[in-house]
Amino acid sequence: DLDYLKNVDAIFASEFSRAVMTAIPLSEITERSIQITNAFNERLRRSSQQFEIPSDFRMRQMYNIDYKLPDGESRRDVCSRFNNGIIQILKKYSGKQIVIFTHKTAITMFLMQYCEYKIKQDVYLIHKERMIFEGKWDGSPEIFKVVFHDQQVVNIEKMNNLCFDS
């Protein structure tokens, strides 16, 4: 049951079209506009003929918070950008229900700050001794409910996959 998604106060999405497109059904249901920001974009990973992207690039970033390609972003960089976006939202919408549409790598890096994690073929996230993500992205948008109090994360849980019934 995704009724809790119908009572949102604000909707944010990264600048990438797939995040905006995923946010549209919720925007229509709630009659809330989508606020687009680069704070929640996927990590920068510019590539050119000068820089070949290693096949294990994503895993290197998971193991090393400062690893990045030239002109790209490290996990630390992504978290800093993402955290700044969250702080701005929390200041403006304190006590409100906010939905953010972002990307697999960006949200994983954000959540890794607050979870224990194991790295196997992908990242497994554990919060308060509960497995909240088992490293499997099934192609459907994943929903993570992150509860803040005084700009501090107090709880994280994985919710049901996103689908809307009109």
Domain with 64 in it: what CATH number?
A: 3.40.50.1240
Report if residue 145 sits inside a domain: no
Q: Tokens 């009659």, residue? A: 31
What are the tens digits of pLDDT across the range 58-72? 888 889 999 998 888
Report if residue 12 sits inside a domain: yes
What are the tens digits of pLDDT across the range 10-25? 999 999 999 999 999 9
Total domains in the fold of the chain: 1
- The model carries a pTM of 0.85
Report if residue 109 sits inside a domain: yes
Tokens linked to 131: 């497995």
Structural domain span for residue 41: 3-115
